[in-house]
Structure 1
Amino acid sequence: MRTIDTRPGVTIANGNASIWLWAPKAKQAAVQFGHDNEILFLDELEYGYWYAETDKIKDGTPYRFVLDDEEPLPDPASLYQPDGVHGASQAVDLTYDWTDSQWATPPLAEYIIYELHTGTFGPGGNFEGIEAKLDHLVELGVTAIEIMPVAQFPGERNWGYDGVFPYAVQNSYGGIKGLQKLVDACHAKDLSVILDVVYNHLGPEGNYFGSYGAYFTDKYQTPWGNAINFDDAGCDAVRHYFIQNTLMWFRDVHVDALRMDAVHAIKDLGTKHFLAELKEKVDELNEQTGRKHHLIVECDLNDPRFINSLADHGFGMDAQWIDEFHHALRVSAGGDRTGYYSDFNGIADLTKAYNDAYVYDGQYSPHRDKHFGGKATNNTGDQFIVFSQNHDQVGNRMLGERSSELFDLETQKLMAGAVLASPYVPMLFMGEEYAEPNRFMYFVSHTDPELAEAVRKGRKAEFEAFHADGEAPDPMAVETFNDSKLQWDLTGKGDHAVMLSFYKALIALRKKHPILQKLDRKVTKATCNEEQQLLFLQRGDDKAAVQVIMNFSDQMQQLPAPLAGETLFDSADQKWGGPGASKGSTIQPRSFIIYNS
């Protein structure tokens, strides 16, 4: 056997613990456990695996691995790190009394996603805080929450992309048992759960993987250093490690979908790409459980191979984020054109995003200085996730400004309409629905002073490409984290309450209208008038269609003809804080109209 057909690490079942460890360079391996540091030696198996069974390790037992009499180390497949990334691992019995036996996640076409960060979303900055706000999300109308990464990271403040224990859920959030409870509560309220995971790199602090085996390869370099080893010597066990991680989230935690961070940084030139193998294993699990689980990727290559089916020689991912829709929308709305935004010309590119999904699908990209992208002609609308903001596009600004600070109320509503009227899966970023004014900034809590200083310098260098003036907030400062939290007391006040009502009504329209809820790219057509800054989006065919007119200009614009149909939504209506609904053949500035034609 080259790999094991089970989860690595310590598994508790029927009063016994089975221990699987991959440490191919070790000549001796043992587990040190309990408060008395009892030692149990592991049996050496083929291909670098070590194994043991014992009834002495129970749920809650602390343990470490000892290789060749070196210093004890935490388990790379630890399920819980109660004392942080440098402390002992703790055995966990994943048995849970689930109440969601009747639950089935809907198709991706029915997803309306709400991205959130556990530490800054709800009271307490933990899973219980999310659960306390589920009724708000249900009333808003979203159908899925997407939780930013929860893999154990250093300290208690982090976006989550510096995780170093992919199987362990952050201790300050409530651990893996707390996540199970949250998922069960979400399903009880008909909310799907998407978990953001990072398979392209591991954080620097608390990273003990190199002590165990060839988890990394110097064949490829990534922005984070040596790439994770998906195709070099020893890669079988590494691939197995991450595949089993995915299966654990679906099987043992009942997560409905994964959002995989930056899969373009997963370097694999092997015969079968890691993502394709992962898809095969997930399909097998779906057959076994009778439940559907989705794989969503972040990928900036504009390569439809990632979302083409396995039968079509693709990698089989179910959907992907498309940042280009966001970029084109922001420039259309009057946002700056620095950095990667320099590739986008506004309304013409947004029109192309509606028609073609990818803006760059083979033409020359000035920012990249090369021809870029491929055509997504045969991919369906539910394979693309669009947004006007997300954690990256807010938090990766130097100051972390949200749309509520960068754009006026009418423009914020216009951008919401552009997303929610699209033939794609829409996603909101936490607080967007009531125009949260607090910034969402980049924050960490490294305990290594040199690493903390390196992060500060890295943030400063990052913004040189955007020619940003001033200083980025200190990512290590507690204030940076606290100032990024949502202010829930605002939801019932002034323009915030108006915006919340607006979002609820717009989401309700999308969910109930038979054309808007059907993500059919074949009957979607967008055109624009660049001089007037008008975009015309038709959803539907000659028999039945919905028309969406968006005015990105600061002026009232004359339409080619009076509206000929029932108006379903007008963002300029006074009930949404606007200047008044459009009349006749005109449309208010910075507004959109949805009507049946």
Structure 2
Amino acid sequence: MTGYRVWAPAAEQGVDLVLGDERVALERGDDGWWQTDRAPRPGERYAFSVDGGDPRPDPRSLSQPDGPHEPSEVVDLTAHEWGDGDWAGAPLEGAIVYELHIGTFTPEGTFDAAVEHLDHLADLGVTIVEVMPVAAFPGRRGWGYDGVDLFAVHEAYGGVEAFQRFVDACHQRGLGVCLDVVYNHLGPSGNYLATFGPYFTDAHHTPWGWAVNLDGPDSDEVRRFLLDNARFWFRDVHVDALRLDAVHALIDDRAVHFLEELAAETDSLSRELGHPLWLIAESDRNDPATVTPRRDGGSGGLGLHAQWADDVHHALHVLLTGETQGYYADFAAADAPAKVLGRTPFFHDGTTSTFRGRRHGRPVDPDETPGWRFVASLQTHDQVGNRATGDRLSQLVPPGRLAAGAALLLTSPYTPMLFMGEEWGASTPWQYFTDHEDPELARAVSQGRRAEFAEHGWADQVPDPQARGTADASTLRWEELREPEHARLLEWYATLIRLRRERPELRDPALGREDVRREGGVLRVRRGEHLLLVNLGDETLDLPTGGEHEVLAAWQADLLHPGAARLGPDATLLLGPVTSTGTTEEASRG
């Protein structure tokens, strides 16, 4: 940063740089940019005044030490001495992703505190740590999806310098870092972008109000703002991937969609940096074109590298819990688990969605799109936190079903993602929490949350999002790892992840190769020469295995003799081909 600059195309009287009591008039440049040669000094506080209006933070601020309503702070991004010079990147194919929220991952709620638990993730077999949004927002507590300063890291987490240290520490342990970014909307409080230019448009609407201006007048610079934001995270903070929130709400009528442009620039930067960079979409469209590579001349898909596969979560959730309310109703179909585990990540691939009241989705071509491009999960921040009381799967089903779900996920053709604490069956809920400083907004959020669940009779059970205790209750308790039941599940997860890494058939991303059959409460999944048996019934069953195998992992199950296995209620048995080096004594017996 050689001088102060800001884009304010609608300014008529001018733009001032505000440094405490001092004001410096900026000079009008090209394309709506205003600038001065005055050199920024690290630690200096500054703001901009458009046409004599109130001083507002820099839209590209790197630090908001006193919150989004106050002046920005100059940061020297080159001050950190990186120790990841030999980092070659984190492959997405074969990855194990781990989603975490910095504010509730540890009691301290900071990046530096999170570093203390990275060895746990590396030992577990995680390869990519996905960090929920860190863009600055008002207050100290929140999920992060109401960020308003997209380049600034939330001060309560430690700011951008702490994020750099965190990424560096991850890389030195062989962990890649994925950052969740929100480009489809900004939060309702502290959002001053419209003061500077047409960042938003009323030509399109989203669930959060006006859409980001990706295709209207002056949208070139708005797109550049977001493209530069992605480049900032990749180049200056060294993240390896971005998870793009709700890309279906990025409404763009141009011939070249914003996502296609973002993918092209990301691929170009990847070649420049010499290691892989990834874009992972959250999309509600069930359209494989999202992750279909772009072809020469711009044909083909959008070119993103992966996307979340919510249908896999929904089918497994219904299978394990029996819940069929809301959008889960469609996934009560008897063939749902077999379809999403054996053929396609999209249960709705052109079929009728009763929740939507229409047909939904498009088929995935297994010859064109491998399974690793779809990130599958048993739990996520959305699927846990949007429940009335934020109850995890570990609070809904017994340990045997947790073990079964883990086995189904971690032997699937998709990229598995765990939600923080899932690996040991954390007893803490993960609830919806906020810390809005605007009293009216705070009241509206608290009342709205209660009203959302009132029709189900749950209003009295819903925690107040604004209460400090709601976030505190959602914070992991790491001491649980010393308790036998939690340690047992952790060992089970670690074993399954190790087996997935060591045995190519268990991570084969080819779709349609799995033979998945369901008979009542029994699932039989064949992956090449490997066989997974799951009994979700309440009776002990003797099941044929179809050949001679050795036990790789067992939860309340075992081989009776070659060709037959015994599974108790809520039992799981993973079998592999008999080898000269493997023995049943090496198996994990949960």
TM-score (norm 1): 0.92
Note the aligned Cα RMSD (angstroms).
1.7
**Residue in 2 that maps onto 1:89:** 72
- Measure the CA separation in 2 of the matches of 1:91 and 1:324: 44
- Answer yes or no: is 1:593 the counterpart of 2:568: no
Contact 2:433 2:466 in 1 (8 A): yes
**Residue in 2 that maps onto 1:335:** 322
**Residue in 1 that maps onto 2:413:** 423
Contact 1:571 1:581 in 2 (8 A): no
Q: What does 1:240-319 correspond to in 2, within 5 Å? A: 240-311=224-295, 312-319=299-306
Deviation at 1:346, TM superposition (A): 5.2
Deviation at 1:463, TM superposition (A): 2.9
- Answer yes or no: is 1:209 the counterpart of 2:193: yes
What secondary structure, in the 3-state scheme, does the structure 1 residue paired with 2:203 have? strand
- Measure the CA separation in 2 of the matches of 1:466 and 1:230: 39
**Residue in 2 that maps onto 1:506:** 496
- Answer yes or no: is 1:373 the counterpart of 2:356: no
- Measure the CA separation in 2 of the matches of 1:62 and 1:589: 63
- Answer yes or no: is 1:58 the counterpart of 2:68: no
Deviation at 1:494, TM superposition (A): 2.2
Deviation at 1:20, TM superposition (A): 2.8
**Residue in 1 that maps onto 2:309:** 322
What secondary structure, in the 3-state scheme, does the structure 1 residue paired with 2:58 have? coil
- Measure the CA separation in 2 of the matches of 1:276 and 1:465: 41
- Measure the CA separation in 1 of the matches of 2:451 and 2:184: 22
Contact 1:195 1:257 in 2 (8 A): yes
User: In structure 1, what residue type is equivalent to 2:525?
Assistant: L
- Answer yes or no: is 1:534 the counterpart of 2:522: yes
Which one of the candidate residues 323, 335, 351 is aligned to 1:348? 335
Gaps of 5+ in 2: 578-590
**Residue in 1 that maps onto 2:351:** 363
- Measure the CA separation in 2 of the matches of 1:31 and 1:113: 45
Deviation at 1:420, TM superposition (A): 0.7
Residues 250 and 83 (structure 1), Cα distance of their counterparts in 2 relative to 1, 3 Å cut = same
Which one of the candidate residues 114, 117, 123 is aligned to 1:139? 123
- Measure the CA separation in 2 of the matches of 1:499 and 1:142: 16
Superposed CA deviations along residues 113-146 of structure 1, whole A, max 9, x for unmatched, are 1111101102411001110111111111111111
Contact 1:570 1:582 in 2 (8 A): no
Deviation at 1:465, TM superposition (A): 6.9
**Residue in 1 that maps onto 2:11:** 26
Contact 1:24 1:47 in 2 (8 A): yes
Residues 514 and 218 (structure 1), Cα distance of their counterparts in 2 relative to 1, 3 Å cut = same
Deviation at 1:469, TM superposition (A): 5.6
Superposed CA deviations along residues 16-43 of structure 1, whole A, max 9, x for unmatched, are x3333111110244343444x3322222
User: In structure 2, what residue type is equivalent to 1:500?
Assistant: L
Question: How many pairs were matched up?
Answer: 568
Residues 571 and 115 (structure 1), Cα distance of their counterparts in 2 relative to 1, 3 Å cut = same
Superposed CA deviations along residues 528-548 of structure 1, whole A, max 9, x for unmatched, are 22xx222222223xxxx3222
Contact 1:339 1:465 in 2 (8 A): no
Gaps of 5+ in 1: 1-10, 12-16, 574-579
Which one of the candidate residues 482, 488, 496 is aligned to 2:478? 488
- Measure the CA separation in 1 of the matches of 2:538 and 2:14: 69
User: In structure 2, what residue type is equivalent to 1:515?
Assistant: E
User: In structure 1, what residue type is equivalent to 2:344?
Assistant: D
Superposed CA deviations along residues 417-451 of structure 1, whole A, max 9, x for unmatched, are 11111111111111111111111100010011110
Contact 2:344 2:512 in 1 (8 A): no
Residues 515 and 562 (structure 1), Cα distance of their counterparts in 2 relative to 1, 3 Å cut = closer
Most deviating of 340-349 and 380-389? 340-349
Q: What does 1:158-197 correspond to in 2, within 5 Å? A: 158-197=142-181
Contact 1:570 1:581 in 2 (8 A): no
- Measure the CA separation in 2 of the matches of 1:413 and 1:28: 65
Deviation at 1:561, TM superposition (A): 4.7
User: In structure 1, what residue type is equivalent to 2:474?
Assistant: S
Residues 513 and 347 (structure 1), Cα distance of their counterparts in 2 relative to 1, 3 Å cut = farther
- Measure the CA separation in 2 of the matches of 1:347 and 1:416: 20
- Measure the CA separation in 1 of the matches of 2:185 and 2:363: 28
User: In structure 1, what residue type is equivalent to 2:321?
Assistant: G
- Measure the CA separation in 2 of the matches of 1:50 and 1:497: 58
User: In structure 2, what residue type is equivalent to 1:27?
Assistant: E
**Residue in 1 that maps onto 2:588:** none
Most deviating of 351-360 and 553-562? 553-562
- Measure the CA separation in 2 of the matches of 1:196 and 1:231: 23
Contact 1:339 1:466 in 2 (8 A): no
User: In structure 2, what residue type is equivalent to 1:58?
Assistant: R
Contact 2:394 2:402 in 1 (8 A): yes
Deviation at 1:586, TM superposition (A): 3.5
User: In structure 2, what residue type is equivalent to 1:60?
Assistant: G
- Measure the CA separation in 1 of the matches of 2:129 and 2:555: 26
Which one of the candidate residues 33, 41, 55 is aligned to 2:25? 41
What secondary structure, in the 3-state scheme, does the structure 2 residue paired with 1:375 have? coil
What secondary structure, in the 3-state scheme, does the structure 2 residue paired with 1:80 have? coil
Contact 1:123 1:130 in 2 (8 A): no
Contact 2:18 2:55 in 1 (8 A): no
Deviation at 1:203, TM superposition (A): 0.2
Contact 1:30 1:39 in 2 (8 A): no
What secondary structure, in the 3-state scheme, does the structure 1 residue paired with 2:70 have? coil
Contact 1:565 1:596 in 2 (8 A): yes
Deviation at 1:522, TM superposition (A): 4.9
Which one of the candidate residues 192, 213, 224 is aligned to 1:229? 213
User: In structure 1, what residue type is equivalent to 2:72?
Assistant: S
Residues 585 and 498 (structure 1), Cα distance of their counterparts in 2 relative to 1, 3 Å cut = closer
Deviation at 1:209, TM superposition (A): 1.2
- What is the identity percentage for the equivalent residue pairs of Structure 1 and Structure 2? 42
User: In structure 2, what residue type is equivalent to 1:208?
Assistant: Y
- Answer yes or no: is 1:572 the counterpart of 2:550: no
- Measure the CA separation in 2 of the matches of 1:348 and 1:211: 53
Residues 190 and 470 (structure 1), Cα distance of their counterparts in 2 relative to 1, 3 Å cut = same
User: In structure 2, what residue type is equivalent to 1:20?
Assistant: R
Contact 1:563 1:585 in 2 (8 A): no
User: In structure 2, what residue type is equivalent to 1:595?
Assistant: L
Most deviating of 508-517 and 435-444? 508-517
Q: What does 1:434-453 correspond to in 2, within 5 Å? A: 434-453=424-443
User: In structure 2, what residue type is equivalent to 1:114?
Assistant: Y
User: In structure 1, what residue type is equivalent to 2:446?
Assistant: R
- Measure the CA separation in 2 of the matches of 1:349 and 1:384: 17
What secondary structure, in the 3-state scheme, does the structure 2 residue paired with 1:566 have? strand
User: In structure 1, what residue type is equivalent to 2:575?
Assistant: Y
